[in-house]
């Protein structure tokens, strides 16, 4: 389920490896996660390198080593964890970095994730050219308004999932934002009347999700749609009406027909 907050949570799971060198690398180099990465160079460079720092931006993570950078994207089912030194990688553990104190594991059953790799200490282009963080001052109401006009015909649900403008938003966060902002998910981008309200809601949902899920994988408050959206028969925590689930913008979308009448 990795969206913004979950990605931040997973990133920190590799913190025990900070400052330590990689003694051995095990990986399934042929898995599609590694698209185009030369296996021999990958292994040679990472072996002996020291993990210096890490950061997350949206759904993308960067792990900086003293002689290379590693980019990780979790796709739909990826996860990071640490394991004991005698860890034996399983079928879905596609990248395992053995250090003296910790074993860093990246697993992904569905192989929708992605691994990026660049030799050297410079941050790669895919990191330096990223769009503004949704909580940064550069994500402005004006920028949001311009983007909505550019995507004027697309349903707002689909627009919120566009990572080029909303890095880190995924399916449940988009539904949560639209529910809190009382916007029907099919509303065309160009027809969003209260852009300021949408902007404010995007920021508050991101901030709260990071605080709650990003910190320790706790559940968001019970009065969020989040806790009611997963099963058929769930009801709106605001008005009690049964929630509707339907495919909008190619994704399963959950909303309240009364609160989000459009």
Partner DNA sequence: TCTCGTGTTTCTTG
Partner DNA sequence: TCAAGAAACACGAG
Binding site for DNA (CB under 7 A): 1-3, 6, 32, 59, 73, 75-77, 91-92, 109-112, 114, 150-155, 158, 161, 163, 170-172, 189, 230, 245, 247, 249-252
Cα four-point dihedral sign 107, 110, 112, 115: positive
Q: How far is the CB of 47 from DNA (least distance, A)?
A: 26
Nearer to DNA, 22 or 192 (CB): 192
Q: How far is the CB of 249 from DNA (least distance, A)?
A: 5
To the query of whether residue 203 is one of the catalytic residues in this protein, the response is: no
Distance CA 248, CA 252 (A): 6
Nearer to DNA, 17 or 58 (CB): 58
Q: How far is the CB of 23 from DNA (least distance, A)?
A: 28
Nearer to DNA, 98 or 172 (CB): 172
Distance CA 236, CA 241 (A): 5
Distance CA 96, CA 29 (A): 11
Q: At 234, phi and psi to the nearest 5?
A: -65, 150
Distance CA 252, CA 111 (A): 21
Question: Among residues 8, 11, 59, 220, which one is catalytic?
Answer: 59
Nearer to DNA, 20 or 126 (CB): 126
To the query of whether residue 44 is one of the catalytic residues in this protein, the response is: no
Distance CA 138, CA 130 (A): 12
- How many other CB atoms are found less than 10 A from the CB of residue 26? 17
To the query of whether residue 2 is one of the catalytic residues in this protein, the response is: yes
Nearer to DNA, 50 or 133 (CB): 133
Q: How far is the CB of 134 from DNA (least distance, A)?
A: 14
User: Tokens 């909505």 map to which residue?
Assistant: 148
Question: Among residues 2, 155, 185, 220, which one is catalytic?
Answer: 2
To the query of whether residue 3 is one of the catalytic residues in this protein, the response is: yes
Please give the positions annotated as active site. Answer: 2-3, 59, 251
């Amino acid at each position: 389920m990795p969206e913004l907050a979950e990605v931040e949570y997973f990133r920190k799971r590799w913190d025990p490896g900070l400052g330590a060198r990689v003694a051995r690398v095990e990986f399934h180099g042929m898995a599609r996660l590694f698209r185009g990465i030369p296996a021999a160079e990958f292994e040679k460079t990472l072996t002996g390198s020291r993990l210096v720092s890490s950061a997350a931006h949206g759904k993308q993570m960067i792990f900086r080593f003293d002689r290379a950078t590693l980019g990780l994207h979790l796709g739909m089912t990826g996860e990071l964890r640490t394991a004991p030194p005698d860890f034996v990688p399983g079928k879905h553990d596609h990248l395992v970095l053995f250090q003296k104190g910790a074993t860093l594991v990246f697993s992904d059953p569905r192989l929708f994730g992605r691994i990026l790799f660049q030799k050297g200490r410079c941050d790669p282009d895919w990191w330096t050219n990223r769009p503004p963080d949704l909580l940064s001052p550069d994500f402005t109401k004006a920028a949001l308004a311009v983007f909505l006009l550019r995507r004027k015909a697309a349903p707002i649900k689909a627009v919120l999932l566009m990572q080029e403008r909303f890095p880190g938003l995924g399916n449940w966060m988009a539904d949560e934002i639209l529910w809190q902002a009382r916007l029907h998910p099919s509303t065309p981008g160009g027809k969003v009347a209260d852009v300021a309200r949408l902007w404010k809601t995007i920021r508050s949902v991101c901030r709260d999700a990071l605080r709650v899920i990003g910190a320790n994988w706790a559940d968001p408050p019970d009065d969020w749609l989040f806790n009611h959206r997963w099963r058929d028969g769930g009801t709106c925590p605001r008005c009690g009406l049964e929630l509707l689930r339907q495919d909008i913008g190619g994704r399963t979308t959950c909303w309240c027909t009364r609160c989000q009448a459009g």
